[in-house]
Structure 1
Amino acid sequence: MTKFFATTAIAVALALPAHAVQPAEGEVLAESQSYTYWLLDAIKTLDPARNTDVEGSDVLRQLFEGLMNEDATGAMVPGVAERFEESDDKLTYTFHLRDAKWSNGQPVTAGDFVHAWQRVVNPATASEYAWFMELMNIVNATQIVKGEKPPEELGVKALDDRTLQVTLTTPTPYFIKTLSHATTYPVPQSVIAEHGDDWTQPGKLVGNGAFVLAAHNLGVDITLEKNPEYWDAANVLMQRVQGVTVNDNNVALTRYQAGELDRVQIPAGQYPRLSQESPDQAVSIPYACSYAYVYNVSDKGPEALKDVRVREALSLALQRDIIVENVLQGGQRPATTWTHWAIEGFDQPQTELATMSQADKTARAQELLAEAGYGPDNPLALTLQYNTDDNHKKLAIAAQQFWKPLGVNLTLNNVEWKVHTDRMQNQDFEIARYAWCADYNEASTFLDWFRTDGYNSGKWSNAEFDRLMAEAKTADDTAPLYSRAEEILAEEVPAAFVYHYAKVDMINPKIRGLPTDNVLNTWYAKDLYRLAD
């Protein structure tokens, strides 16, 4: 389990200034401080309580600020909280807030955090991330999410305007790591009361981050400008940030090469060439996301997928080495676990998926499908749903080819991101492409996804798995618990784990301050600056 410094050490560390990154000696700044980056899909929401997407979190991190931020290595540093104390029993945290303001000039108070967190767990909000507050082990979070207690009984209170107290049900070593997540950001109660669901629109949205919302053309672009009311505005160099939506990754790369974008994902298979041609621009670093094909084992799912032999056969037959070495070619690794290999303190168990040769896996897959009654003479018809992206399409076609010799007729169904996620949340799919990116740097951020009451779109359920994850919340040594949990996933195969991400991008070398040593790839525009040509 991740260990933290002694409380006094944390308090001292958090009392230090947390100023934005500054240029190195000799670097000459560009006259225009702007950063333009690529977005694959539209930003669905700018409400911290309702966001579920990585891209949405990237924008929210600029518009709002939580109790804590992350530095370039992923270590926790002060955000709105200057310092905090932890009680001897590790159940109570007291945060002391700095003199921060909303973008309308009003003070950010402890009550704003209380309101925001109560809003997340309130069933009326319909937050898809309400479970995150449960994961944080905040007192009464689970009962409130279930509608058994009112939101006002959540274990968070404002002792005064600058002092926030949080009470947990059990010691939670990763608790502090959760506090840079968008779900925990404060929101302006009076603004939401005035504008209702329209409060996130340009001209209405009030945030406490280093930037404000200047414009948002849904599915086209989103523009942020420096917030003069931000507490550390004097040390923020970047003036303008723009995310541009381009559904075709190859078109986005062309726009990068034309100088229209400062950062873009490298399309599958092109990293080797681009790293040779532009070694100062092509980057591949570990990124704590895992790609999978989730099986719908709910009552709405196909009967065939309720047979573990079918699920295991499909997983075994995926030729992951070909996917990462011949299709993606960007430093990704084959996934034999759900938890990303680079997560701090995680030891990958040696399952059959990790140790068998591909020839043996394919042979075993054929045996399993035959036992289940399927094969070339009795084909299994399934549909794989994926959201619009050329990389997802390439992988789906590869899966189709890997499964065809087994007697699986796979239909590919491409839909837009919002439709894709809505269908997954309602179990309106058979097999769905999905990826999970870590919310904090600890294995439970992945494994909790598969709890019976977790996000768990395929609705798989296992009592031993749930017990292990509950036990891990208070265990001194979580490693064997997490290892066994992964073994259960390998035995039950609720999803076919495909590959572990690497962040494979082209980045304009004039842009400085983007982190390369944070496995969560958490970036803050307040830390960016542009060099002169």
Structure 2
Amino acid sequence: MKKTNWLLLVLALVLSMFLAACSGGGDEGSSSSGDSGSDSSGDASGDSKQVLNIMDSAEIPTMDASLATDAVAFQFLGSTMDGLYRLGENAQPEPGIAEESEVSDDGMTWTFHLRDAKWSNGDPVTANDFVYAWQRAVNPDTGSEYGPYMMGGVIKNATAISNGEKPVDQLGVEAVDEHTFKVTLEKPIPYFKSLTTFGTFLPLNKKFVEEKGDKYALEADTLLSNGPFKITEWNHGEGWTLKKNEDYWDADNVKLNQINVKVVKDTATGVNLYETGEVDRVNLSAEFVDQYRSSDDFKVEEEPTLFYLKLNQKANDVLGNVKARKAMQMVIDRQSMVDVILNNGSIPADGDIPKNFVKDPESGKDFREVNGELVSYDVDKAKQLWNEAKEELGKDKITLEYLGGDTETAKNLDAYIKDQLEQLDGLTVKVTSVPFKERLQRDTNMNYQIQNAGWGPDYIDPNTFLNMWVTDGANNKTGYSSKEYDQLIEQAGNEYALEPEKRFENFYKAEKMLIQDDAVLVPLYQRARAQLWKPYVKDVQVNPMGPDYSYKHAYIEGK
């Protein structure tokens, strides 16, 4: 998001009107009340048509919950679907299709009791819909990235199934009856209920999915919803429309009738649409922040979403050299980047765990405070390491390809990073700007050398960031492999699963190894979003994982 997770996975999504990810989310946000602390106890009465108009900077790649990997998809899956639980206030799970649940004394078996709920075609939502969806997500024939990633080591036999070693019907899920869904875990997972709010765990209507085949979830008429809204129009590259789902089990508490989403990649265009009243929210790039900072509509949203350069160690021998990677870490002035280029409240990143995300279980201090700054800005040291790397490689002139986004803000930031990297003697950086969907495909195929990427949490735990980089991890895609790193993460998730202090010690060691010792990533910044929000938009819930925003209880007041 925000791969949630919370996937967000790429810079462009950060800033313009997109989402991200992991993981972080499709459209960009608001305060939880839409008006930064005003009384939101009013209702949606009056002449308002209860229509919300927003923007996104990227197309939805797919609405297939088994195949979704990005924050745009997870944002609108969260808007149109209910899983067992939904994210409520303060990122706490609240009942979705599950009215209640119970867990065995050993923490290994969860039983969910499902309410009467319907799909938008009138079919009942049953326990079999969860069994089918979860089995499909780990079935190697599906080709899901998130299924094995989110369920492996969590749901019994998920890893063996995704590796082709066991049949899918051996997954630890069972429909006891139509309204009782039982899950058997590989080990106790303290945050499992929170995990079930994530998009990969959503149910699927088997008959509908198989009837639509390869076209499933790629058009408005090949989708089913069981959540607050349903997509009724989808004009690829232009935008999409969500309308209230009258068949939703909690439809009485959904106040918006319609959400219109425009794809807009240029910030100036978005600001103009906001000023003319055509949209209700816009993300601001650096040049607009100072202009609107004193406006009552101006808001800054801080998020636990990190952006960094991914370095494909298998792309060439330069990126396979740890000194070259460390030089790239040290040569970028992150403070100037966030102050001048972004100018939206974002802060420099100096590790793989964001600030104000999780606290040490023993001291209560922030994880980032305990583990310290793992990268520094030191141009002289960077040049020294770079020259040593060139000597080891027998190279004088080096050209590296850089994969970035195609939004205005992404291009500006990528140009800055190119300039910073080219302070290294003999280095030429060639930037390629591509749409979000293509960037995802190229990441999956490791068809890049340097990539501007990002990640938002899928659940509130350091593991959601650090587990990504284990050998052959579904979201690793850097070629990084370390037995010692793998052991630290494996031990934290198994032997120390119920020993939080030892578990966090492993996480501290793993993060230092990842960033400080092996220089797998070049941390850039922790995202904040400077935005304008129309004051009549109320009760938009902001999430730190999964969908960036929840519109279930949002409404328009007095427009």
- TM-score normalised to structure 2 length: 0.86
CA distance in 2 between counterparts of 1:464 and 1:354 reads: 19
Q: CA shift at 1:136, angstroms? A: 6.2
Equivalent residue, structure 1, for 2:49: 32
Equivalent residue, structure 2, for 1:437: 456
Q: In the comparison of the two structures, how many residue pairs are matched? A: 506
Instruction: Report Cα offsets for 1:79-102 as digits up to 9, x if no partner.
Output: 111111111111111111111111
Q: CA shift at 1:522, angstroms? A: 3.5
- Structure with greater contact order relative to length (CA < 8 Å, sep ≥ 6): 2
Is the CA contact 1:43–1:56 (under 8 Å) kept in the aligned structure 2? yes
Match among 293, 297, 308 for residue 313 of structure 2? 297
- Distance change >3 Å, CA 29–CA 343, structure 1 → 2: farther
SS in 2 for 1:310: helix
Q: CA shift at 1:26, angstroms? A: 7.3
CA distance in 2 between counterparts of 1:89 and 1:233 reads: 37
Equivalent residue, structure 1, for 2:96: 79
Is the CA contact 1:342–1:519 (under 8 Å) kept in the aligned structure 2? no
Q: CA shift at 1:515, angstroms? A: 2.5
Is the CA contact 2:74–2:547 (under 8 Å) kept in the aligned structure 1? no
SS in 2 for 1:424: helix
Which amino acid counterpart does residue 309 of structure 2 have in structure 1? Y
Equivalent residue, structure 2, for 1:503: 529
- TM-score normalised to structure 1 length: 0.90
**Structure 1 gap segments, 5+ residues each:** 1-19
- Distance change >3 Å, CA 406–CA 187, structure 1 → 2: same
SS in 1 for 2:256: coil
The percentage of counterpart residues that share the same residue type is 30
CA distance in 1 between counterparts of 2:456 and 2:47 reads: 33
- Distance change >3 Å, CA 84–CA 397, structure 1 → 2: same
Computed over aligned residues only, the root mean square deviation of the Cα atoms, in angstroms, reads 2.2
Q: CA shift at 1:355, angstroms? A: 7.3
Note if 1:528 corresponds to 2:557.
no
Is the CA contact 1:241–1:525 (under 8 Å) kept in the aligned structure 2? no
- Distance change >3 Å, CA 47–CA 517, structure 1 → 2: closer
Match among 109, 112, 132 for residue 149 of structure 2? 132
- Distance change >3 Å, CA 27–CA 217, structure 1 → 2: closer
- Distance change >3 Å, CA 145–CA 153, structure 1 → 2: same
- Distance change >3 Å, CA 498–CA 28, structure 1 → 2: same
- Distance change >3 Å, CA 446–CA 190, structure 1 → 2: same
Match among 42, 50, 55 for residue 67 of structure 2? 50
Q: CA shift at 1:400, angstroms? A: 1.8
Equivalent residue, structure 1, for 2:298: 282
Q: CA shift at 1:30, angstroms? A: 4.3
Equivalent residue, structure 2, for 1:462: 482
Q: CA shift at 1:70, angstroms? A: 1.1
CA distance in 2 between counterparts of 1:164 and 1:26 reads: 36
Equivalent residue, structure 1, for 2:345: 331
Is the CA contact 2:199–2:546 (under 8 Å) kept in the aligned structure 1? no
Q: CA shift at 1:27, angstroms? A: 6.9
Instruction: Report Cα offsets for 1:420-443 as digits up to 9, x if no partner.
Output: 221121111110111111111211
CA distance in 2 between counterparts of 1:167 and 1:285 reads: 38
Note if 1:172 corresponds to 2:210.
no
CA distance in 1 between counterparts of 2:435 and 2:47 reads: 38
CA distance in 1 between counterparts of 2:422 and 2:492 reads: 40
Note if 1:159 corresponds to 2:176.
yes
Q: CA shift at 1:272, angstroms? A: 3.4
- Distance change >3 Å, CA 136–CA 514, structure 1 → 2: farther
Q: CA shift at 1:462, angstroms? A: 1.1
SS in 2 for 1:509: coil
Equivalent residue, structure 1, for 2:262: 244
CA distance in 2 between counterparts of 1:450 and 1:442 reads: 15
Instruction: Report Cα offsets for 1:427-463 as digits up to 9, x if no partner.
Output: 1111011111111121111111111132112121111
Which aligned pairs between 1:352-501 and structure 2 lie closer than 5 A? 354=374, 356=376, 358=377, 361-373=378-390, 378-407=396-425, 408-454=427-473, 455-474=475-494, 475=496, 476-477=499-500, 478-490=503-515, 491-501=517-527
Is the CA contact 1:449–1:456 (under 8 Å) kept in the aligned structure 2? yes
Q: Greater CA deviation, 480-489 or 281-290? A: 281-290
Equivalent residue, structure 1, for 2:331: 317
- Distance change >3 Å, CA 489–CA 143, structure 1 → 2: same
Which amino acid counterpart does residue 240 of structure 1 have in structure 2? Q
CA distance in 2 between counterparts of 1:458 and 1:344 reads: 26
CA distance in 1 between counterparts of 2:312 and 2:436 reads: 18
Equivalent residue, structure 2, for 1:347: 367
CA distance in 1 between counterparts of 2:234 and 2:542 reads: 28
Is the CA contact 1:287–1:519 (under 8 Å) kept in the aligned structure 2? no
- Distance change >3 Å, CA 159–CA 26, structure 1 → 2: closer
Q: CA shift at 1:342, angstroms? A: 2.4
Is the CA contact 1:236–1:526 (under 8 Å) kept in the aligned structure 2? yes
SS in 1 for 2:531: strand
Instruction: Report Cα offsets for 1:5-60 as digits up to 9, x if no partner.
Output: xxxxxxxxxxxxxxx99962477544301112111111111111111111111111
Instruction: Report Cα offsets for 1:200-228 as digits up to 9, x if no partner.
Output: 23234222111122110111111111111
Which aligned pairs between 1:153-232 and structure 2 lie closer than 5 A? 153-200=170-217, 201-232=219-250
Is the CA contact 2:85–2:93 (under 8 Å) kept in the aligned structure 1? yes
Is the CA contact 1:349–1:487 (under 8 Å) kept in the aligned structure 2? no
Note if 1:148 corresponds to 2:165.
yes
Instruction: Report Cα offsets for 1:468-520 as digits up to 9, x if no partner.
Output: 11111132112211111110112101110100111332222111111257476
Is the CA contact 2:537–2:555 (under 8 Å) kept in the aligned structure 1? yes
Q: CA shift at 1:351, angstroms? A: 6.9
Which amino acid counterpart does residue 107 of structure 1 have in structure 2? P
Equivalent residue, structure 2, for 1:13: none
Is the CA contact 1:121–1:133 (under 8 Å) kept in the aligned structure 2? no
Is the CA contact 1:30–1:530 (under 8 Å) kept in the aligned structure 2? no
